[in-house]
């Protein structure tokens, strides 16, 4: 049997994943599509028991509700607008006369193996052996509009994806002013709302809120998924923790404007909606035209946030990222940004590469500042768009640099920012119309006081952007890595390319254009590793993961603050997607002085890299990082591809934070613990491990032992999985900024 079943008599659809079920019903007379159930996997008996034939079966209790409030209480699958349901609608359409009421009703459905692509949009993927899809066509006869709901249930991960396609069949155009990709009605119970917020250099902080009556939301209208709020929301039961309790997770597969909102109404029901932010969204649909809204990933866990996370990590590896690096180990790299900023030349870079190689680093990434002819990129106010080598800095060009790095046994990566242009650039002089701009209004600039976004809606601009990568990789096929930056928001809301009556399409067309470019790059260069940098952590979203391999977690490399940001980021993105670099002390962003071992141990829990200038490193720093890299490589498979268990949260004020990874066989694990604050007579909690086999015995080896020091008292000991997971182990974290990394191997 497939993942999706239609109970004809009951007119109910049941979608199953390994541990969850999702039920949708057609209310006979009205043909409303009602939401019945989403939660732990249930049986056919349960489905029939949930039905109460002869009445609308899906309203939990209607005893105290009269018919007039029926629609306002009814759990809807895709609620319409202006027809008696006063909660947030999923869709809003106005016809030429300005009428905005509409409620699409069930017309037909089909179920098939596999998953359709979403043209022009990033999306998860799955073969006919991996998933099944339900398409339900709803129709609004008055507007002559169809709304097709797509649900895909995966066999191998507890994920259901949803997306929506709206088609206008009427002669006259209609205007979509809202089209969310998902709406889910649940009983309010005791859920809290979990979201991530932040700012530049302070990304993805965790926030829990009580769900009050009315609406609460996160969103972005910056033209990007943003540093500030994250296209994700979870409902977390009151007792939930990392490994227990109920969690509903929703993640948008889109990197543009979004809204994620939870509403609690008078009948204590919750409505979650997620999709394109309705602000500034107005889309004209002429007869026969279709608008497809991006996908939302839904997951349910009855084993806490930990299972939600592991499900989402599995989804990333199996159904989201397309590059061969999904299950390949990723290189340890050095990035010269914090080592040199704009002040480098061939010699400096090669010296970095040579020294880095000695400590085990496998790749050099040349950051911002390598380009510009008429306007040289010596600071951040010029040259974006002029992707020609700065011959003053690199007189023998890239070729010489790449080949020398290659001869030294080190791979090469390069920084670009294809979507941006500075007003001080040859590109802007030649194509001033290629920048987004509002007719008659002064240009708004971002970074450097001169930076703008290119009008990626324009196919010529798309060709230009593809050309940047194509020229680099075509001429220098040894380039193994691209750091794709995006340092400015969509500030000038106007396009010289789009006609006047389509200016309201910019936010969407920008991302469609970007996806076209990324599709072309991936089709021609599937093997190159690409980082979505986004001005620090501004582009961390599922919307770019089909094309990019990893994120730069934050421009803030302070190891102490990174523990919080990496903690939040790990809720959705696996460690191999999280670029974590060892950096200088005092830290360049915060001035904090942190011992080198702690800095290494924090960076080692993800995709390890370095921002340090080798020539400025002390002997101790040099030895410790070399040790860290050597040990990291010996367990890199477990860290990068393993299952994450978060053990002690930095948010819990226990003075420490701890996490670990296990491999699928439960034979190998890597454990991390960090001292977050230091007091006299401090009580450090024992830490219980997770994800091990209770019946196995594990031998402990300390990794990255402090230079000149002795391994900690746990080193060389053997513990049973039972003891490790139930009693836990004492932490060797006596001093300020103490940290430890342990390898556990089943004997
Ligand atoms: C952004 C990135 C940094 C660095 C600079 C270069 O801020 O996040 O890592 O690449 O741009 O200008």
Q: What is the pLDDT of residues 543-570, one digit of tens each?
A: 999 999 999 999 999 999 999 999 999 9
Residue 56: the pLDDT is 46
**160 has a pLDDT exceeding 70:** yes
Return the ligand 1 atom nearest residue 552 CA. 8
Ligand 1 site residues (CB inside 6 A) read 337, 367-368, 380, 415, 485, 487, 533, 535-536, 552, 555
Residue 185: the pLDDT is 95
Cα(478) to centroid of ligand 1, in Å?
23
What is the number of other CB atoms lying within 10 angstroms of the CB of residue 503? 16
Mutation to probe ligand 1, out of 379, 536, 539 (largest number of atoms < 8 A from CB) = 536
Return the ligand 1 atom nearest residue 341 CA. 6
Of residues 367, 485, 549, 601, which has the active-site annotation?
Answer: 485
DSSP-assigned letters across all residues of 231-268: SEEEEE-TT--SSSB-EEEEEES-SS-EEEEEEE-TTS
Cα(243) to centroid of ligand 1, in Å?
36
DSSP-assigned letters across all residues of 292-314: EEEEEEEEEESBHHHHHHHHHHH
Residue 272: the pLDDT is 98
Measure the CA–CA gap between 126 and 17, rounded to whole angstroms.
13
- Taking CA atoms only, the protein residue closest to ligand 1 atom 11 is 535
Strands 232-236 and 192-197: antiparallel
Residues ≥6 apart with Cβ < 8 Å to 631? 604, 703, 704, 741, 743
Cα(237) to centroid of ligand 1, in Å?
39
Quick check: is 72 catalytic?
no
* φ, ψ at 201 (rounded to 5°): 65, 15
Residue 2: the pLDDT is 74
51-60, 376-385, 728-737: which range is least confident on average? 51-60
Cα(368) to centroid of ligand 1, in Å?
7
Residue 45: the pLDDT is 85
Instruction: Take residue 550 and report the two structure tokens written for it.
Output: 């990893």
Residue 59: the pLDDT is 46
Quick check: is 631 catalytic?
no
pLDDT tier at 86 (50, 70, 90 boundaries)? very high
**162 has a pLDDT exceeding 80:** yes
Q: What are the pLDDT digits (tens) for 304-331?
A: 999 999 999 999 999 999 989 988 999 9
6-10, 652-656, 695-699: which range is least confident on average? 6-10
Residue 67: the pLDDT is 52
Do residues 130 and 156 touch, judged by C-beta distance below 8 A?
yes
Q: Kindly report the average pLDDT of the chain as a whole number.
A: 95
Cα(415) to centroid of ligand 1, in Å?
9
Q: How many CA within 13 A on the CB side of residue 5?
A: 14
* φ, ψ at 471 (rounded to 5°): -65, -45
Mutation to probe ligand 1, out of 485, 488, 565 (largest number of atoms < 8 A from CB) = 485
- Taking CA atoms only, the protein residue closest to ligand 1 atom 7 is 535
Q: What are the pLDDT digits (tens) for 461-511?
A: 999 999 999 999 999 999 999 999 999 999 999 999 999 999 999 999 999
Angle (CA) 189-192-195 rounded to 5° is: 145
**Which one is predicted more confidently, 29 or 91?**
91
Mean pLDDT of 717-745: 97
Stated as kind and residue range, the H or E segment containing 334 is strand 333-335
Strands 643-648 and 174-187: unpaired
pLDDT tier at 1 (50, 70, 90 boundaries)? low
Mutation to probe ligand 1, out of 414, 417, 487 (largest number of atoms < 8 A from CB) = 487
Cα(538) to centroid of ligand 1, in Å?
11
* Helix/strand/coil for 500: helix
Angle (CA) 88-198-511 rounded to 5° is: 60
- Taking CA atoms only, the protein residue closest to ligand 1 atom 12 is 368
The residue written with tokens 């640099």 in the block is 401
Instruction: Take residue 104 and report the two structure tokens written for it.
Output: 């699409």
**743 has a pLDDT exceeding 90:** yes
- Taking CA atoms only, the protein residue closest to ligand 1 atom 1 is 535
Q: What are the pLDDT digits (tens) for 173-187?
A: 999 999 999 999 998
């Amino acid at each position: 049997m497939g993942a999706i079943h239609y109970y004809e008599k009951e007119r109910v659809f049941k979608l199953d994943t390994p541990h969850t079920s999702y039920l949708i019903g057609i209310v006979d007379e009205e043909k409303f599509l009602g939401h019945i159930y989403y939660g732990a996997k249930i049986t056919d008996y349960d489905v029939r028991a949930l039905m109460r034939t002869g009445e609308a079966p899906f309203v939990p209790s209607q005893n105290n509700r009269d018919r007039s409030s029926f629609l306002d209480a009814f759990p809807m699958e895709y609620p319409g607008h202006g027809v008696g349901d006063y909660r947030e609608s999923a869709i809003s359409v106005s016809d030429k006369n300005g009428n905005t009421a509409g409620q699409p009703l069930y017309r037909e459905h089909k179920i098939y193996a596999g998953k359709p692509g979403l043209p022009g949009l990033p999306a998860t993927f799955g073969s006919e052996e991996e998933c099944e899809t339900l398409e339900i066509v709803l129709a609004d006869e008055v507007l002559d509009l169809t709304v097709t709901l797509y649900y895909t249930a995966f066999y191998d991960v507890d994920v259901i994806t949803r997306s929506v396609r709206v088609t206008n069949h009427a002669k006259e155009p209609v205007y979509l002013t809202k089209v969310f990709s998902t709406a889910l009605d649940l009983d309010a119970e005791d859920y809290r709302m979990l979201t991530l917020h932040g700012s530049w250099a302070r990304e993805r902080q965790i926030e829990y809120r009580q769900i009050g009556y009315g609406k609460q939301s996160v969103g972005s209208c910056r033209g990007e998924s943003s540093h500030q709020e994250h296209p994700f929301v979870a409902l977390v039961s009151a007792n939930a923790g990392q490994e227990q309790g109920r969690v509903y997770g929703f993640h948008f597969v889109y990197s543009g404007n979004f809204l994620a909102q939870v509403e609690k109404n008078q009948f204590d029901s919750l409505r979650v909606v997620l999709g394109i932010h309705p602000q500034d969204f107005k889309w004209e649909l002429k007869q026969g035209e279709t608008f497809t809204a991006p996908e939302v990933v839904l997951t349910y866990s009855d084993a806490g946030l930990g299972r939600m996370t592991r499900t989402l990590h599995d989804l990333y590896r199996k159904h989201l990222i397309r590059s061969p690096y999904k299950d390949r180990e990723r290189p340890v790299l050095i990035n010269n940004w914090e080592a040199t900023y704009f002040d480098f030349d061939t010699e400096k870079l090669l010296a970095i590469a040579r020294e880095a190689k000695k400590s085990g680093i496998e790749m050099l990434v040349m950051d911002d500042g390598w380009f510009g002819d008429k306007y040289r990129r010596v600071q951040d106010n010029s040259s974006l768009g002029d992707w020609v080598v700065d011959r003053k800095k690199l007189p023998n060009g890239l070729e010489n640099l790449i080949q020398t790095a290659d001869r030294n046994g080190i791979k090469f990566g390069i920084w670009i920012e294809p979507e941006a242009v500075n007003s001080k650039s040859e590109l802007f002089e030649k194509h001033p119309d290629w920048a987004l701009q509002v007719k008659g209004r002064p240009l708004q600039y971002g970074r450097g006081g001169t930076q703008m976004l290119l009008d990626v809606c324009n196919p010529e601009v798309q060709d230009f952007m593809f050309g940047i990568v194509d020229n680099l990789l075509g001429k220098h096929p040894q380039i193994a890595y691209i750091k794709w930056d995006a340092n400015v928001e969509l500030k000038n809301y106007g396009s010289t390319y789009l006609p006047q009556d389509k200016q309201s399409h910019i936010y969407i067309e920008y991302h469609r254009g970007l996806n076209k470019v990324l599709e072309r790059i991936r089709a021609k260069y599937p093997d190159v590793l690409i980082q979505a940098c986004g001005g620090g952590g501004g582009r961390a979203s599922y919307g770019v993961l089909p094309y990019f391999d990893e994120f730069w977690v934050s421009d803030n490399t302070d190891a102490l603050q990174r523990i919080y940001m990496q903690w939040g980021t790990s809720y959705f993105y696996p460690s191999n997607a999280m670029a974590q670099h060892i950096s200088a002390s005092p830290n360049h962003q915060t001035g904090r002085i942190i011992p080198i071992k702690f800095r290494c141990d924090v960076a080692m829990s993800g995709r390890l890299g370095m921002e340090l200038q080798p020539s400025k490193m002390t002997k101790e720093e040099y030895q410790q990082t070399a040790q860290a890299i050597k040990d990291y490589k010996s367990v890199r498979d477990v860290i990068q591809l393993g299952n994450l268990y978060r053990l002690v949260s930095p948010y819990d004020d226990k003075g420490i934070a701890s996490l670990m990874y296990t491999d699928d066989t439960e034979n190998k694990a890597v454990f991390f613990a960090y001292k977050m604050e230091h007091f006299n007579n401090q009580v450090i909690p024992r830490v219980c491990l997770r994800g091990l086999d209770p019946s196995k015995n594990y031998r402990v080896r300390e990794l990255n032992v402090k230079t000149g020091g002795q391994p900690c008292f746990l080193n060389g000991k053997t513990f049973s999985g039972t003891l490790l997971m139930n009693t836990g182990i004492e932490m060797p974290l006596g001093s300020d900024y103490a940290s430890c990394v342990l390898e556990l191997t089943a004997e």
